[in-house]
């Protein structure tokens, strides 16, 4: 069962991906990625009882806006900002993030420069050479993408690193 930390981290990573596709501010994207990493690796397991804004802001990499989103998520199970971003990018475009070798920046290029809206468009443009002609792409990358699509391969979910116990947790275990 996914913990609140994992759910929040997944939401923040998705926000960062969608912001990258929309070519948003790189510093904000990095802030969401850093917060997600911190939630997965460095802090104790959060519960609804921990959702106090002042306390959340004591966590490194968690500022005012991120704390608000964490509280909203813990209370409602959703984030309005994430929903807003999802509504700006068609689902089939978001699904391309699951294809190996395609991260948010490459998906953005395909979506904005070639108006690729789904896997079928991706296959068509890959086969006629449009994708290989884009900066940052090439024949070898296109072959890898086509191979992944044809074999039904999706990105592997990276195993979560073992979370370090906090001093509070270490103390709790000894008493």
Per residue in 143-157, pLDDT (tens digit) is: 999 999 988 877 765
CATH 1.10.150.110, the chain: domain bounds = 4-87
Tokens of 84: 């807003």
- CB burial class (10 A; 0-12, 13-18, 19+) of residue 80? exposed
Instruction: Confirm or reject CATH 3.40.50.620 for domain 4-87, answering yes or no.
Output: no
Rounded-to-integer distance, Cα 20 and Cα 116, Å = 16
Average of per-residue pLDDT across 11-32? 96
66: left (phi over 0), alpha (psi -120 to 50) or beta: alpha
> HSE on the CB side for 146, CA within 13 Å?
16
pTM of the model: 0.83
Q: How far apart are CA 67 and CA 111, in angstroms?
A: 31
Sign of dihedral through CA atoms 40, 45, 48, 50?
Answer: negative
Determine contact, residues 15/32, Cβ cutoff 8 Å.
yes
- Dist. CA 26–CA 44, nearest whole Å: 28
Q: What's the confidence (pLDDT) of residue 48?
A: 87
**Which single residue is written with the structure tokens 């609140």?**
4
Condensed to tens digits (0 to 9), the pLDDT of residues 62-109 reads 999 999 999 999 999 999 999 999 999 999 999 999 999 999 999 999
CA torsion sign, 116 to 110 to 35 to 3? positive
Locate CATH 1.10.150.20 in the chain. 90-150
User: Which architecture does CATH list for 90-150?
Assistant: Orthogonal Bundle (1.10)
């Amino acid at each position: 069962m996914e913990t609140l930390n994992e759910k929040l981290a997944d939401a923040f990573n998705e926000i960062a991906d969608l912001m990258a596709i929309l070519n948003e501010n790189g510093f904000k994207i990095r802030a969401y990625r850093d917060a997600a990493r911190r939630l997965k690796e460095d802090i104790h397991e959060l519960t609804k009882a921990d959702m106090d804004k002042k306390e959340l802001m004591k966590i490194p990499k968690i500022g005012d806006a991120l704390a608000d989103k964490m509280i909203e998520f813990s209370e409602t199970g959703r984030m309005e900002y994430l929903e807003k971003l999802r509504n700006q990018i068609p689902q089939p475009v978001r699904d391309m993030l699951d294809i190996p070798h395609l991260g948010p920046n490459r998906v953005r290029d395909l979506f904005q420069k070639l108006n690729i809206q789904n896997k079928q468009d991706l296959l068509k443009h890959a086969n006629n050479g449009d994708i290989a002609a884009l900066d940052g792409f090439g024949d070898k990358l296109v072959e890898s993408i086509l191979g992944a699509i044809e074999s039904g391969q999706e990105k592997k979910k990276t195993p979560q690193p073992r979370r370090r116990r906090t001093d509070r947790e270490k103390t709790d275990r000894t008493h």
